[in-house]
A = this chain, B = another copy of it.
Amino acid sequence: MAATGHSVTSMPGPSAPPEGGDPFLAACRGGFWRRTPVWFMRQAGRSLPEYRALRGSGSILSAVRQPDLVAEVTLQPVRRYGVDAAILFSDIVVPVAAVGFGVDVRPGVGPVVEHPFSGPGDLSRLRPLEPGEDTPYVAEAVALAVRDLSVPLIGFAGAPFTVASYLIEGAPSRDYARTKSLMYRDPATWNALLETLADMAATSLRAQVEAGAAAVQVFDSWAGALSPSDYRRHVLPASRRLFAAVADLGVPRIHFGVGTGELLGMMAEAGADVVGVDWRVPLDQARRRVGPGVAVQGNLDPAAVVAGMDVAAARARQVLRSAGGRDGHVFNLGHGVLPQSDPGVLAGVAALVHEETESPRTRSPRTGSPATDSMGTASP
């Protein structure tokens, strides 16, 4: 690889381009190639009119069983926004639903479980995932999407904690009291549950990569509800198990959660190549917390997109500045696209990130004016 690490002064040289010259994969590996890559969490979704036209109102768990539909929905944001990566249209509860745990995703609500997980007797309801039998449509959709994509496809899975929280709470929660009660009171069952979910996630990611995904993202969306000591003791081991189980695939592994300011170092330690950061922690601080050798992804506030192009542009430039250099930075929102977002603003943000960071005519993200020196000087 030509460029790795977080040197803020390195510029792409005449040597062989990293990862076949792909901006997204280069950034995931800590480097930089041509431009800072950008994609948006939930870029395939309700904010796109072409998505709403195609999808109707059914559960996403029915939609994901239609590979043609999934491939098309996965491609839509790439066409519309010119983003540097696609992410498979799916849901983190697909594997547990597929082995028959009895979970549905209610539109406007989220995952709802008919009989929530409440104790050791429920462990037997989670048998190992067999992707070829249980979720053949996932690999088919990946293959279809990859065939038509000009950018890398990101496969994904839910992290053990976040999936466990849905299974235990039975519905979206604000306090995770049931989840934490099980975690505190029955660590043996808790650990067995998290290991089972780690293995299911790893199996699912492996199938997605074998079908053509070029990177994976693990969503531990609600890990930020935990104290650092709880995360270290009760969650990190299973997440580490998941990341280790997919290490041999050789694809970049992204690890994302919301409100994880105190956990970023451990989320890197779990085995991530890239740590996703929400807008609460400026990227220069996030870099320090994840440590050297780990890239960062983020972190425009999705609300800034809703506020319109002027606001979004100013904030996007601020994100580029606080990234302290282009190496190892994947531009993204700090959480998913909000449904009321204007697609035109997202397209504008993608174009701005490209313009501000593309070489050889490097531009300074601080001023927007052409600059020949490194962007490493543009720290906030």
Contacts and interface: CB of A to CB of B under 8 A. Distances in A.
A51 interface: no
B301 A180 contact: yes
A279 B176 contact: no
B229 A180 contact: no
A259 B174 CA distance: 13
A305 B311 CA distance: 42
Interface string A296-326: 0000011110111001000000100000000
A216 B55 CA distance: 52
Given A229-B318, A259-B259, A177 B280 contact: no
A281 B230 CA distance: 12
Interface in A32-83: none
Interface string A337-352: 0101000000000000
Contact of A306 (B181, B224, B281): B181
| From A180, A185, A303, A340, residue with most partner B Cβ within 10 Å | A303
A282 interface: yes
Given A180-B307, A340-B177, A259 B282 contact: no
B185 A308 contact: yes
Interface string A222-240: 0010111110000000000
A375 B230 CA distance: 24
Interface residues of A, number: 33
A64 to B, nearest CB: 24
Identify the 10 closest CB pairs spanning chains A and B, nearest first: A180-B303, A181-B307, A184-B311, A184-B307, A177-B306, A177-B303, A261-B261, A227-B279, A259-B259, A262-B280
B227 A301 contact: yes
A118 to B, nearest CB: 14
A175 interface: yes
Contacts of A311: 181, 184-185
Contact of A175 (B224, B227, B308, B338): B338
A335 B177 CA distance: 12
